[in-house]
Structure 1
């Protein structure tokens, strides 16, 4: 469970964790700074929705085709290049604005460029996590928990910081800081992963050709189509992400501007949601294994979304919404650990990057329309009508685990792993001891409690959520052939 030669090398893992924290902080600044910048400079909710559409549509496009590219170019190069492009794009916005050259179409183009480059970089860092865990001599469960914990903590701090900085210096200056975070993240990955073989271009992939590229993409899509639980999850999360994009990019900023008092309240609410998410993830890691996955997931997914929209629509003060955001954050904290664990169980090693891109694309498919629709709904039906309409869609989406039979596979998969644990790992100690050998080890041999729940405690349901390490084995029930390079 260590680097070649028997020694432990924790520097690459530390570099990725710190880069992830810096990048997540910058993402929070973007999430709050860009919508507020648009509202300040244009005063139009519709234009804020249009900018959100332009920023997220390329994310879906790059996720659809990005998996094979990452393997050929190399994960380190993709991550550094992604951060560089994103930093330049976001820094250009306030620069052009101060010189009077920032037309609305140019703002949309810069956001589209940043969106196009963002997802490959996130995917490249995330799929390295199992290899970095092995090299550092730590378990995958701990590495994944650390990866998610620093991201959640950074997003929480970044949201609060964004609200304060916007109030003190203006949204444009916040975007300068955002650009600097991308530069720091790029430098950390460039230096920290310089000598890491797993971060270099893969030598076992065939030469670049349209036929080979299409084959690799098709394998990722085919695996998703054959796994009905993953297909159900992607469909539901797609609708949730679409409505949340409308919430983050349009509805909450407009509500804060009109009723709550401005950017500080917006930052406070986002920070409270992040704090709740971090606490919920830690709480699930401690006691979540005692409950059936589907039960916990069904309750939490209902609490994390629709109540926010209803409270915002029916009240005009900060306190009720603040309490709701904390509760919603706590509930959301349990979702990613469950989804990540399920994905670890369902995706074989050889399809890691390809399926990661497909899952990301599917989950983010509705995001461009979510921001655009929310903007037009505010202008056409008013803020309250838009909040109730979008919240209704969210509620319908989150009823899925209670309605469709495919979600029963979530508990069946858990029971299978418990059976394997009793046969292979005894009371649970083996999973803790060999967790670094891959999710197959951590979940399959770890006992019903400790490794099974912790295996996904730090995962992120986005690019890179499907990562395993070591030779492993495809999980039972997938029925998928492991393709040769």
Structure 2
């Protein structure tokens, strides 16, 4: 294949995986609420899955700087498909309970997290292979993601109305399997850790490593297991060093990502499902999130078309300010038409911010540390998000939905103020980090090592 075919297939695989997750993201909280009748169950489930998710993220970061990232992504989507397909099977036989959600939530996360990190780590290599501009590509990627997340919630609402909440999980499983099959069509070289290496040499090296591994005895295998644990810890420390030391823009972008995931995850995973369930209209959750995704699509398209017309700082300020307005509207839990207006506003304003934060991450993390940095980031997010969701579920159970919602609005406004006032985010037009940053030193050291 020629032209931009690698990029296109990468986007298709990402879109299929995201579409499956989008359908499941709507159906699972509602299924859990219908099964347990307790809002606190969602927070408890998230917290119970947190430790295995973190371990999967840390180990994933270690292996992604050592194994082919394409292969990790393939296996991840297969594991995700199997875990989701297990839930309707259990429902048809012994019946679903909270314990089954915990079991397959843990297993699914162990497969999902390394795969998500692998796909993120491959993206710059795919873009470089096809000669596509990274910043513009991230804007277009955000647009495609928005289209998928428009279709996903609406499809979930339709399927839940036609075939029921649990059976619609079959669709999620099928989409994850299709994502895995599409990723198999990508060249092995895009998943190689050293993107500058000759693809033929990469394949020869992989074959040589397999041959050597097959000759090891059991004692060597035990040593390798210990080495992997040590490598995982080292990878986590290296990832934290890249994310938090030296480059202030990268540090600020990472912290902002945490804030966004914690607050918006609590809304999507708990506040809105409880709100619409109490209103006896659970299907409206899917349509609300679809409208938000429409706004995200429009905002991303505007950003992709006008990227060079405004400075990054201007995009940054406008986007964060608009997101604050949208969160205030939605957080007031208004009537449905106003809720839709707030959802659209939030999505529209989030488009540029999402693309910008992604650009900062990919532009400033050295390629040979991308797996460890993104693995560490995902691991930390897997701690922060469940803690935030559990705290929100406790607030909803203890002091009511409306007070909990306003608490999240307040948290969001604090995050916005800190992000706008941060000194490191005042000048965002430099393409690379400061020459004295950890990123620059890593690049220089890696270049000397290659020589």
Post-superposition offset of 1:251: 0.5
CA deviations 1:311-335 (Å, max 9, x no partner) are: 44352x2100000100100100011
1:198 aligned residue: 190
Separation in structure 2 between the aligned mates of residue 360 and residue 481 of structure 1, nearest angstrom: 23
Match of 2:295 in 1: 276
Alignment match, 2:277: 257
Distance 1:292 1:363 in 2: 29
Structure 2 spans left out of the alignment, 5+ residues: 195-201, 214-223
> How much is the aligned-residue C-alpha RMSD, in angstroms?
2.7
**In 2 relative to 1, CA 338–127 (structure 1 residues): closer, same or farther, beyond 3 Å?**
same
* Matching of residue 157 in structure 1 with residue 151 in structure 2: yes
Partner of 2:179: 185
Higher deviation after alignment, 140-149 or 338-347: 140-149
What does residue range 86-235 of structure 1 map to in structure 2 within 5 Å? 86-141=80-135, 143-190=137-184, 192-193=185-186, 195-199=187-191, 209=227, 211-226=230-245, 227-235=247-255
Partner of 2:57: 63
Distance 1:306 1:238, change over 3 A: farther
Give the drift of 1:169.
1.9
CA-to-aligned-CA distance 1:390-412 (integer Å, 9 cap, x gap)? 2211221121123332323xx1x
Structure-1 residue corresponding to 2:383: 365
CA contact (8 A) 2:292 2:344 kept: yes
Alignment partner of 2:13 out of 15, 19, 29: 19
Q: How high is the TM-score relative to the length of structure 1? A: 0.78
Q: Deviation string for 1:147-195 (max 9, x for gaps)?
A: 33322211110111111211222210111111111111111112x12x4
1:306–1:392: 8 Å Cα contact kept in structure 2?
A: no
| Shift in Å, 1:292 | 3.7
- Is 1:221–1:358's contact at 8 Å kept on the other side of the alignment? yes
SS class of match (1:172): coil
How far apart, CA to CA, are the structure 2 residues paired with 1:284 and 1:9?
25
Cα distance in 1, alignment partners of residues 350 and 365 from structure 2:
23
For residue 288 of structure 1, report the CA deviation from its aligned partner: 4.2
Q: Counterparts in 2 of 1:357-436, with a 5 A limit?
A: 357-408=375-426, 411=427, 413-414=428-429, 416-417=430-431
- Tell me: CA distance 1:134–1:243, structure 2 relative to 1, closer, same or farther (3 Å): closer
Write the distance in 2 (CA, Å) between the matches of 1:314 and 1:123: 34
Count residues in correspondence.
416
| Distance of 1:131 and 1:121 partners within structure 2 | 16
Alpha-carbon separation, structure 2, partners of 1:272 and 1:39? 23
Query: In 2, distance between residues paired with 1:240 and 1:303?
Result: 14
Secondary structure, counterpart of 1:379 in structure 2: helix
For 1:336-391, what per-residue CA distance to the aligned partner results, in whole angstroms no more than 9, with x for missing partners?
22212323442223222222223333444310112212222111111111111122
Q: Distance in 2 between matches of 1:81 and 1:403?
A: 42
Greater helix share, structure number = 2
Distance change in 2, residues 1:144/1:301 (3 Å): closer
Partner Cα distance (1:305, 1:86) in 2: 34
